[in-house]
Amino acid sequence: MVDGGSNIVEADWESVSSILQVGGTIIGSARCKAFRTREGRLSAACNLVQRGITNLCVIGGDGSLTGANIFREEWSGLLEELARNGKIDKGEVEKYAHLNVVGMVGSIDNDFCGTDMTIGTDSALHRIIEVVDAIMTTAQR
């Protein structure tokens, strides 16, 4: 979100239906030092407004979900600051006044209280089983 440009791509059924069974970070992920700063979040807010995005689905662990919550809490202030700096106009501040955020726990650790299984746990365990099966087959020969 901070870098914008071609890093922000709309996901639709066609673009994601073939990755349902694929483990790993196929949709892309990265730790972003810049997002930890207000300046980085200002850049992210500007990029989202430029693309007309007001809904975010954040998949991650404690850091991602905490960052998403901070972003949501700061959203209106970020838009006001962008307007003061001439990056967006007052009409855009009103049009994009609300940011909807859905957070989903994604962690191979499966250590989030109140959930049966986090996103990532099943695929990680599946990969482990595949590797152990391969090692056992090799060891038996």
| Catalytic site positions | 109
Quick one: tokens of 34? 């810049």
Q: Are 78 and 42 in contact (CB under 8 A)?
A: yes
Q: At 22, phi and psi to the nearest 5?
A: -95, 130
Contact residues for 32 (Cβ-Cβ < 8 A; gap 6+): 2, 40
